[in-house]
Amino acid sequence: MKLFSNIYKKVIELARHRNAEYYLGGLSFAESSFFPIPPDVMLIPMSLARPERWIRYAFLTTIASVLGGIAGYFIGVWAFEWLESILVTGGYAGRLEQAESLFETWGVWAVLAAGFSPIPYKLFTITAGALSMAFLPFVIASVIGRGSRFFLVSGLVAKAGPGMEPTILKYIEWLGWLVVVLLITIVIFTQV
């Protein structure tokens, strides 16, 4: 059964859809303020499907992500007390503490580093607002951090991706099942 190769082909097909850029922008905005899925899940296949547009996709993702980050900042300013209980209930308490600790130690540099961090970016945007970080440095750090990440990811995929596609297709089933096993292992060990 070729489960992952069919999923891969469907994702590439969707990445070429005429509304794919709107979906990418919406996902990028939402992820920076409230949604759990990172925009890379669309940015990567879109940059692979149309490598000549990688700069456009990276720019769109960056702008939408920063705008979503600004929304997250204001969520932190106006609704952090209410939202904190939801984050804790949703299993983000440890990550929220990590973000707060990074802010206490690094300040605006924490936002810059958040572009490459495994901690969800929305936690940084909301925490920045809750801790009343200066707005302009927050925006500048967001543009640099998120832009660096998205341009790097999109550019690498656009350069190396099309040449790697035959190899990806050859090993996609093994890679897909390896990722599933790794995720299950992570879930089991984080529950123990």
Evaluate if residue 1 carries a pLDDT over 60. no
- Asked if residues 43 and 150 have their Cβ atoms less than 8 Å apart, the reply is yes
> pLDDT over 70 for what percent of the chain?
91
Distance CA 88, CA 105 (A): 22
Segment 46-73, tens digit of pLDDT: 898 889 999 999 999 999 999 999 999 9
Give the mean model confidence (pLDDT) for residues 85-108: 78
The pLDDT of residue 180 is 72
Domain ranges of the chain: 3-191
Q: What is the mean pLDDT of the chain?
A: 83
pLDDT at 25: 94
Looking at residue 57, its pLDDT comes to 96
For the stretch 149-159, pLDDT in tens is 999 989 998 98
- As to burial, measured by CB atoms within 10 angstroms (0-12 exposed, 13-18 middle, 19+ buried), residue 155 is middle
pLDDT at 138: 93
